[in-house]
Structure 1
Amino acid sequence: MAKKDPNQHFEEVDTSILWEDDWKSKTVFITKYGGALLGHISGAIVCFWVQWISTGIAFIIVGSGLGWMFWVRRSDFRKRTRSDAKLHSFFHELRDEIPAVLAESNPKQRGSHLNHLVERLTQEIAGYYRALKRNDEIDCIIRIANGNGEFITRGRSDGLEKSRKEKSEPIHMNEGLAAALRTKDARGVYIIRSIPEATSRGLWKRTATDDCLDVNALLACPVVAVDHGTRAMIGILCVTAKRDVFDVTDTVPIKAFADCFGMALAAVGEAVCEDVRIKKAKSNA
């Protein structure tokens, strides 16, 4: 068994081979997949050869069970490492790009830079949930409030239908999901397992994008900014799927992503307000 270097440095980690490297460094041949399979088959053949039928059957059942347990452990390990990599990518993008957005002196360029960042972040969140749920049909959408009390879609991941961009409609703060989240004091997460059912309960406002077939279930979380102790819902973050794949444990990560969005958008909003104050001071001088 190879001895690990006690001092190692990793800039990037290939999650596709991480399990295999870890497995090779910690196991001997007989406990690896090839060795276990060889031992399992050999033992079963010997048992049947000497007519220990019941022992041979037990050998097959126990060996199959252990093989299944190994496969589940390996799958869970790879799922976790891949979702962790996407989690890091989200925060890495946020760390690098928010200062660049704030440094933009031209309001139009700042808005354009922010829109591109939001698009990339929704892609990272979609990637995180795709890895977590092992489902490539998961996507992400974020709506951000404008000055008219409406929530406008500002970011979509790449798996959603392209026609959504033309069909998208604003949702007023007193309608659909926006109103439902506000009645909960902009706290917590809704799991929408059926859009028609959510519509009948008043949680969902039908729009032209409901004709698209790429979203049938979703998580919906408020994006909240806090200014001197005052909370305000400034966005809605949704993780979507073509079928009902979400459970209660999936509501925890989306709240963390929404909190990060809230901090970032609040920082940009404060910078915009500061620009306005400076311009007013100069005009009055």
Structure 2
Amino acid sequence: MTVEKQLLYLLSKKVEMDGKELIRIFEEMNYTPQSIRNNLSKFKRMSYITSLERGIYKITPSGLNAYRLYAKKDNYYTEHWNGKWYVVFLEIPETLRKKRDAFRKGLLDLGFGMLYKSVYVYPWDVTDKVLHLIDSLEIEDYVTIISSNEFLLNGIDPEGRAGPNNARSLWNLEEINTTYKNIKIWIEKEYTPEFNRLVENKNRDTLHVFTNFLTLKEIRDDLLLADPMLPAEFLPGSWLGTTVLFSLDKFIQTLADLIPKDSYYSSFVADLRNK
């Protein structure tokens, strides 16, 4: 979904965009013009965008909602955990299987772990997003949400403590950490030298800086989607999540600052400036 997410991100930042400019951006990222036209046509059929004037595109409220679903994870490593757990119980009938499957996937994308087949648990308050998902699927009668500061039996076990509900297995932390390890290697061996050359180049191309920004933002967003970002006591000592995300955020911030304020691409990074 890389191209789709990036298209919706770009269109969410401008009142309207010329299709030629969208193609120019994505050609720099090695996508073909036809693939971008195909995605724009698909989004028009899905009512995610409109085109009141030939070649000029504008995102719709439905498109904004779709983008928010793509980009629905925050970085909770910067938050303090209050010790509260959020538990979702669902009993959606077989006749609504598609909605049930969509809801389960939505919970997992938000970071929930599956405690039991129809019970999901998460340490961060994303209730508003869960309620939005429930409302969009029209399954209010089949879901219960509770919050609690403690489990009386078989709670989520912190790292190093044996028990039936180990955080490592509930959230598949080893696989996620392997992904972080691979990204860390890529950053150190491949991306950092390229990044340094870009920063040191006084005649740098602004479009090239911006497409670097888009690429790293996509990598960061995909990691946030895969990572539940559990409180520290539930993470293994070898955990690389915070380190890798911090590195990516520094790169992204620097790239945003390198884009001149009078550039066409400035509005896409305006919310990151001077942070």
Range of TM-score over shorter length? under 0.3
Bigger Rg over Cα: 1
Q: Which has the higher contact order (CA 8 A, sep 6+)?
A: 2
Please report the TM-score for the alignment, with normalisation by the length of structure 1. 0.23
Please report the TM-score for the alignment, with normalisation by the length of structure 2. 0.24
